[in-house]
Chains A and B, each alone.
Chain A
Amino acid sequence: KQEVTQIPAALSVPEGENLVLNCSFTDSAIYNLQWFRQDPGKGLTSLLLIQSSQREQTSGRLNASLDKSSGRSTLYIAASQPGDSATYLCAVYRWSSGGSQGNLIFGKGTKLSVKP
C-alpha cells in the first residue's frame, strides 16, 4: 500500500530564507508526483508536477526534485516571503492494474509560516 509522508509537519522561518520541504513515498511505481499549496479555508492549487521519467521541475522560486529509487521528493523555495505561508502537500499518482486509472495519494502536508 502506497504511503506518503511529509516532514516536518510544520515549519517557521524568517522572511528571505531558502527552505526545503521533504516528501517520501513507499512504493516507487508512481506515474507522477505533484506538489500542491493549500491556503486556510481554500482548496488546493497545483504548484509543480514531475513525471516519473523526470528528475526536477522549476517554476519561479520553486524547484521540485524527484528520486524514484529512494522514494523521495523535495520542494525547494528560494527567498521565502510571507505570502508563501500555507500548507504544502505532496501527492503521488500511482499506477493501477487491470487497465483502470489510478489516483492521487496525499501526504498530510507541511504547514509553512514565513515571518516578516
Chain B
Amino acid sequence: DAGVIQSPRHEVTEMGQEVTLRCKPISGHDYLFWYRQTMMRGLELLIYFNNNVPIDDSGMPEDRFSAKMPNASFSTLKIQPSEPRDSAVYFCASSLGISGRVVTQYFGPGTRLLVL
C-alpha cells in the first residue's frame, strides 16, 4: 500500500482565497483524521470521520473550515476564505478500528500551507 496520500504537498495562496486540501486514506481503514501543526500550538486534531461520517469536529477553528468525506477513499479539508493565521502544516491520518477502538494511526506527509 502507498500509505496515506495528501495533495498538494505545498500550497501558497493569498489571503481571502479558497484552499482545498485532499487526502486518500489507506485502503480498508475506517477512520480518517485531519490535524493541524504549528510551532505555537503543536499538533491539534481538527476533525475525524468513522465510516465516512464526521464524529467529532470540535477542533475545527471556525466556520471558515469545512471537511467532507464523500467516500471511503477520499476526503477534503476546505478553508474559505483563507487567512494568514491559517498557515500551518495540515496532516491527514487513517486508522483501522478494532473492537470499536482506534489503534495506531498512519500519517500522510502533510500539506504545508502558506497564506500571504
Contacts and interface: CB of A to CB of B under 8 A. Distances in A.
Contacts, number: 58
Contacts of B105: 44, 46, 104
B24 to A, nearest CB: 14
Interface string B61-102: 000000000000000000000000000000101000100111
Interface of B: 4, 31, 33, 42-45, 48, 50, 55-56, 91, 93, 97, 100-110, 112
Which 10 pairs of residues, A with B, have the shortest CB-CB distance? A43-B107, A108-B42, A106-B43, A44-B107, A46-B104, A43-B109, A103-B45, A43-B108, A43-B110, A100-B55
Contacts of B97: 101
A103 B107 contact: no
Nearest to B38: A108
A103 B103 CA distance: 10
- Chain A binding surface, main DSSP class: strand
Contact of A103 (B48, B100, B106): B48
A113 interface: no
B102 A107 contact: no
A101 B50 contact: yes
Nearest to B40: A108
B13 to A, nearest CB: 19
Nearest to A36: B107
Nearest to B4: A43
Task: Determine the interface band of chain A, counting residues with CB < 8 A from chain B.
Answer: 20 to 34
A103 B33 contact: yes
Contacts of A89: 43
Nearest to A102: B102
29 contacts: A31-B101, A34-B104, A41-B109, A41-B110, A42-B109, A43-B91, A43-B93, A43-B108, A43-B110, A44-B43, A44-B93, A46-B104, A49-B104, A89-B43, A91-B43, A100-B55, A101-B31, A101-B50, A101-B56, A101-B97, A101-B100, A101-B101, A101-B102, A103-B33, A103-B45, A104-B45, A105-B45, A106-B43, A109-B42
